[in-house]
Amino acid sequence: MRSFEPGGSAVVVGAGGGIGAALVSGLLQTEAFSSVWALSRDGDTGRDGRLRRGRIDVGDEPSIAAACLSLSLGVEQGAGPIRLVIVATGMLHRPGMQPEKTYRALDADALMLSYRINAIGPALVAKHMLPLLARPGRAVFAALSARVGSIGDNRTGGWHGYRASKAALNMILLNLAIETQRRAPDTLVVGLHPGTVDSGLSRPFQRGVAEDRLFTPAHSADRLLAVIDGLGAGDSGRVLDWSGQVVVP
């Protein structure tokens, strides 16, 4: 990754997931950052060379604030200014909760949980992490979104909570991009659609996915990092897919 000034830090929130772990691995392979922070809800803490591990729970704002305090201390102790944050969290299903096939399956608690994890969590991460991003100089705040969060691209309906929460995330990212541009013109805020990745999130729903469109986490992560590296100022506020195509303008 050549678009970032050398000597900075990258942060992956949700490093315990398939894509998150692959993003951490990809960032370590690039050698573009002096430190790579891998933050997860249940992970270990500590340091191993350029890799720094810590804990964060995007459903708990005090946990987010504590993680950001650790990041600040790390920067003060020589980890390098933070130039890239990727929020790689998300939820489509869990035991006892499946995507709704019809409005008759709508449930208030399930909807609230979808919003809490897919929209509110990344928003609160941005609240605490955007002030930490280095400036002047290029910096990027990115969050994993989904093509199904595009209102204009919706042709089949269903998956109400996931679609709506990702659409909410897309609007939050656009708002963040507009506000951030006024304060830090070199900072970009984007959403990223990773494609259909062979992970726990998509595994029950892979039937009918073409073989060449079912990505390994490593492949998806490599493509997303390439998209981040190629971002221009006009991309801030957009959602782009793994190939660099605009999903939400």
- Asked if the structure places residue 198 within a domain, the reply is yes
pTM, entire model: 0.90
Question: pLDDT digit of tens for each residue in the chain (249 aa)?
Answer: 899 999 999 999 999 999 999 999 999 999 899 999 999 998 788 888 899 999 999 999 999 999 999 999 999 888 899 999 999 998 886 777 787 888 988 899 999 999 999 999 999 999 999 999 998 899 999 999 988 878 777 778 878 888 999 999 999 999 999 999 999 999 999 999 998 877 555 555 545 555 556 789 999 999 999 999 999 999 999 999 999 999 976
Domain span including residue 57:
8-248
Residue with token string 């984007």 = 190
- Asked if the structure places residue 1 within a domain, the reply is no
CATH code at position 166: 3.40.50.720
Domain total of the chain: 1
- Asked if the structure places residue 177 within a domain, the reply is yes
**Contact yes or no for 230/244 (Cβ under 8 A):** yes
Q: Which residues pair with 246 in a beta bridge?
A: 240
- Asked if the structure places residue 136 within a domain, the reply is yes
Question: How many Cα neighbours within 13 Å face the side chain of 233?
Answer: 7
- Asked if the structure places residue 184 within a domain, the reply is yes
- Asked if the structure places residue 2 within a domain, the reply is no
